[in-house]
Amino acid sequence: MAQRYDFEGIKKFGLRGINLALATTSWGAWAVKSAFAPLLNFLIKELINWLANRGLVILNIGAIYVKGQFDQAAFDKAIDAAIKAVESSKGKLTPEQIKAIDDEVIKAADRFLPYGKPR
pLDDT reported for residue 56: 66
pLDDT reported for residue 63: 52
What is the amino acid identity at position 8? E
pLDDT reported for residue 119: 44
Residues 6+ apart with CB under 8 A from 94: none
Which has the closest alpha carbon to 48: 5, 98, 91? 5
pLDDT reported for residue 115: 61
Q: Are 48 and 98 in contact (CB under 8 A)?
A: no
- List per-block mean pLDDT (blocks of 10 residues) for the chain, which spans 119 residues: 70 80 80 85 86 67 53 78 85 86 84 61
CA 4 to chain centre: 21
pLDDT reported for residue 59: 56
